[in-house]
Amino acid sequence: MNSSLRSRHLSFQGDKRGSVNEHLDSLFNAIETRSLDQLRECLRQEPQGIINGHGGPFYVTPLHSAVEAGWVEGVRELLEQGASVCVRNQYDQTPLHYAATARQQAIVTLLLECHSSAAAVNLQDMRGRSPLHEGAAAACLPVVRQLLDRGAAVATHDKQGESPLHKAAKAGALEVMVALMAAGADLRERDLRGMCALRWLALSTPHGLPRLLDHLLVTSGAGSRHSPVTFEFSALATHSGTQQCQLLSYLIETHNREMLEHPVCHAFLLIKWKRGKLVFLGYLLYFVVYALLTSLFIFMRQLRGRSGDHALLPNATHDADAAATSFCLSPRGAQGVQVLLCVMTLLLLVTQLNRLRIQGWACVRAPNFWLQLSSAVCVSSLLASSWRPGVHGAAPWEHHVGTVELLLLQLQFLLILRKYPSHGLYVAMFIRVAEDFLKLFFVYCTLLVSFTATMFLVFNARPQQDPVYSRWPLLFLKSVTMMVGSVDVTGPLAGQLDRLPYTSYLLFFLFILFIPIVLANLLVALAVSDIRELRASAHLTRLAR
């Protein structure tokens, strides 16, 4: 303490702030000289209440002064004589703030053992900082652990909106961050400047995120009978149920997907898969049954009413009639299929609503959410149409909806299968190749459109009898098939496509893109090429899903 101010100390409780008190001055002198006998003599002779009096330029108490000096014996004596841990200086800082800032582990232990410490653990100073903020900023793991054990709140924010985790990230205190995350601190939480702890860690520490995950690997000592390496998953999974993977999802959103290959993340996902494997297989079986019932219902609906279908398909043959008959069930069996399909569709809708309730609007960005929702809408519309009174056979629009529904079911099956470790890798590879191809295709699609327009003008300068060259959509399909080289659009094929216009064009176009181009080239690459990079990228994609 400054000697020029030593002789003038402010009064203790009850006196006017700013007055001189000689008793308090002698008490501060004893603390400054670290004289335990003098301290005890002052406390024995001085008036009651002086122990919590304030003085000095920062309006501190004797306990503040003893903590600041790091005098453990003096702190113990003051606490035994009734000093309060909750007293504040002019900046609203308590002695616990002082001890946490100075990394005084022994003094923090003494302060927390005091009966008044329960109220002081979460007290904030004029900056909004709690003792846990100060301990995290000082990168002192023992102090942080002691405060957490005594109930310090990890979600406390200062006036800058920063939590203790932000302070630890700024200081590069990785072990402190692990302790705070295990206690429930959120690595994704943002301060008033919009900065999250993960961002502060990247700015303060080179390779901060991999090093943070490295601290979750706990090695056993030499000669230990336990596993040489154990994983500390508590920092990754601070929630229960479906919320356990929120941090990993955030890593994907922030373009840190490669962190999923870290041993900690990989082992965590593997354990989650082992625990949820039966649930996944049950859901897969449920979806397969649902897809089979939906397909059976669509075929029954569209092929059973031959009289209505003949109006739509004037060239229908006896083979089509036989196929329609083969898909027909008894009236009771058909009703059973419809009722069971209705119940399963409602269960899928309830599942999606529950997913929306748990995950919020984040699940809306998932393609599987929209696929299942679209599929449920298609099936519901077909079921509603089949229950219309006095109507037999399928309406023309049902053929389009049924065809699209079968395509949606196949896409859903691929997205579900992508989560299975042994098969999902190849599904992810197919999706990755398809995405890359579509990017290039849409870039060069203008050439196909221009070529199609040119051919359309040339071939229709005079009346054209060939339906392929007289209709622009079919001519565009022929341009695409000419690019592939293995498929061609001819008159007979055009006649078949005209039975279900537009929808059949779209399906045939998608077939050309994904089967002869994407899938065929992917199979060739798998057979003869080095696709290590593709496999690695697909592996990360599968883990992310």
Assign 319 a pLDDT band (cuts: 50, 70, 90): very low
pLDDT in tens, 405-443: 999 998 899 888 888 877 887 888 788 878 877 777 777
pLDDT in tens, 470-485: 777 877 877 777 766 6
Distance in angstroms (rounded) separating the CA atoms of residues 216 and 231: 6
Q: Which residues of 297-312 are buried (b: 16+ CB within 10 A; e: fewer)?
A: bbbbbbbbbeebbeeb
Q: What DSSP designation does 259 have?
A: G
Assign 125 a pLDDT band (cuts: 50, 70, 90): very high
Mean pLDDT taken over the chain? 79
Distance in angstroms (rounded) separating the CA atoms of residues 146 and 132: 10
DSSP for 137-174, please give it: HTT-HHHHHHHHHTT--TT---TTS--HHHHHHHHT-H
Q: What DSSP designation does 486 have?
A: S
Give the pLDDT confidence score for residue 17 in this predicted structure: 39
Rounded to an integer, the average pLDDT of 490-499 is: 68
Using the structure block, give the residue that is written with the tokens 């995350």.
181
Distance in angstroms (rounded) separating the CA atoms of residues 292 and 294: 5
Strand partners, 196: 190
Q: Which of 154-163, 354-363, 404-413 has the lowest mean pLDDT?
A: 354-363
Whole-angstrom CA distances from 398 to 62, 298, 381 are 86, 9, 9
Give the pLDDT confidence score for residue 509 in this predicted structure: 77
pLDDT beyond 50 at 241:
no
Task: Tally Cβ neighbours within 10 Å of residue 168.
Answer: 32
Using the structure block, give the residue that is written with the tokens 């893109």.
513
Alpha helices (H) in 418-531, listed in sequence order: 421-459, 467-470, 472-484, 491-497, 503-512, 520-528
Using the structure block, give the residue that is written with the tokens 């942080």.
144
Positions of E strands within 232-289? none
Give the pLDDT confidence score for residue 368 in this predicted structure: 83
Q: Which of 89-93, 103-107, 220-224, 313-317 has the lowest mean pLDDT?
A: 313-317
Distance in angstroms (rounded) separating the CA atoms of residues 216 and 447: 53
In residues, how long is the chain? 545
Using the structure block, give the residue that is written with the tokens 């002869």.
516
Highest-pLDDT range among 42-56, 323-337, 518-532 = 42-56
Highest-pLDDT range among 90-94, 311-315, 360-364, 494-498 = 90-94
Q: What percent of the chain shows pLDDT beyond 90?
A: 28
What are the phi and psi torsion angles at 210 (to 5°)? -60, -40
pLDDT higher for 510 or 336? 336
Distance in angstroms (rounded) separating the CA atoms of residues 169 and 173: 6
Q: Which residues, at least 6 apart from 56, have a Cβ–Cβ distance to it below 8 Å?
A: 1, 5, 9, 10, 28, 65
Closest CA to 168 of 156, 157, 177: 177
Which pair of tokens denotes residue 290?
Answer: 């649902």
Sign of CA dihedral 314, 382, 341, 347: positive
Distance in angstroms (rounded) separating the CA atoms of residues 513 and 143: 62
Sign of CA dihedral 441, 487, 396, 374: negative
What type of residue sits at position 191?
D
Q: pTM for this one?
A: 0.65
Q: Which residues, at least 6 apart from 90, have a Cβ–Cβ distance to it below 8 Å?
A: 58, 59
Distance in angstroms (rounded) separating the CA atoms of residues 280 and 113: 50
pLDDT in tens, 499-513: 667 777 777 777 777
Distance in angstroms (rounded) separating the CA atoms of residues 489 and 483: 12
Using the structure block, give the residue that is written with the tokens 């359309």.
456
Which pair of tokens denotes residue 201?
Answer: 């860690």
Alpha helices (H) in 46-140, listed in sequence order: 62-69, 72-80, 95-101, 105-113, 117-120, 131-137
Distance in angstroms (rounded) separating the CA atoms of residues 10 and 310: 103
Closest CA to 175 of 216, 223, 123: 216
Contact call for residues 520 and 485 (beta carbons, < 8 A): no
Give the pLDDT confidence score for residue 2 in this predicted structure: 38
Closest CA to 114 of 53, 176, 52: 52
Whole-angstrom CA distances from 316 to 295, 308, 323, 499 are 21, 11, 11, 10
Rounded to an integer, the average pLDDT of 2-21 is: 40
Which pair of tokens denotes residue 285?
Answer: 């079986």
Whole-angstrom CA distances from 502 to 398, 400, 404 are 14, 9, 12
pLDDT higher for 545 or 35? 35
Rounded to an integer, the average pLDDT of 371-389 is: 88
